[in-house]
Amino acid sequence: MATATAGSDPGQVEPDHRQLIEKAKGGDSRAFETLYQHCAGKVYALCLRMTGDCGLAEDCTQETFVKAWRKLASFRGQSAIGTWLHRIAVNEVLTLQRRAGREVRYLEAVGSDVPAVRTGEQVGETLDIESAILKLPEGARNVFVLCGIHGYQHAEAAEFLGLAPGTCKAQLHRARRLLKMRLAT
């Protein structure tokens, strides 16, 4: 799946997650810590884009890994560990959104996707796009983050969000249309 390795350097060899998972299942906290170090950035980026709040994203990321540690024995390896963690993270964000109903205030760019040095024009474009994403209705934003940014297929995103695939497609279409309108002005 594209999301498990998205953004990875093709020349960089990732650790054998299967061995780490098996060790962690056996109670090896250092193996789980290594998994955390390899996956936390992507989980945080997903949470941040869905919540738009650094503190909430940190909380969701922390809860994701706490739940992952507790439920690691239930991980069957039918998907990549990153996909499994994203599923837990999405559930955490959705729970938070349902419970709190908070408005998104801002979004910081994170991860290796952001160039180290940017011109003033690039910074403005990034802020415009991020700001436009934040102004999307919650459902459209969640689908756009999963499909448009993280590369999940409609069926996967729909399953994560508890939607019908057709609803997911409609929300993505709506998000793209709204973004196009907002960025054109």
Query: Can you give the pLDDT of all 185 residues of the chain as single tens digits?
Result: 333 334 343 333 344 688 888 898 899 899 999 999 999 999 999 999 888 889 999 999 999 999 999 999 899 888 889 889 999 999 999 888 877 654 444 444 444 444 444 444 444 455 578 888 888 898 899 999 999 888 889 898 898 888 999 999 999 999 999 998 888 87
The pLDDT assigned to 164 comes to 92
Contact of 67 with 36, CB cutoff 8 Å: no
Tell me the C-alpha distance between 87 and 28, whole Å: 23
The pLDDT assigned to 99 comes to 77
Helix or strand run (H / E) with residue 63: helix 54-71
Structure tokens at 160: 């994560």
Q: What is the pLDDT of residues 90-107, one digit of tens each?
A: 999 988 887 765 444 444
Contact of 61 with 89, CB cutoff 8 Å: yes
Q: Is the dihedral of CA 159, 165, 171, 176 positive or negative?
A: positive
Q: What are phi and psi of 164, to 5 degrees?
A: -75, 145
Q: Which three-class secondary structure state does DSSP give residue 26? A: coil
Q: Indicate the pTM of the whole model.
A: 0.64
Structure tokens at 11: 């020349």
DSSP state of 79: S
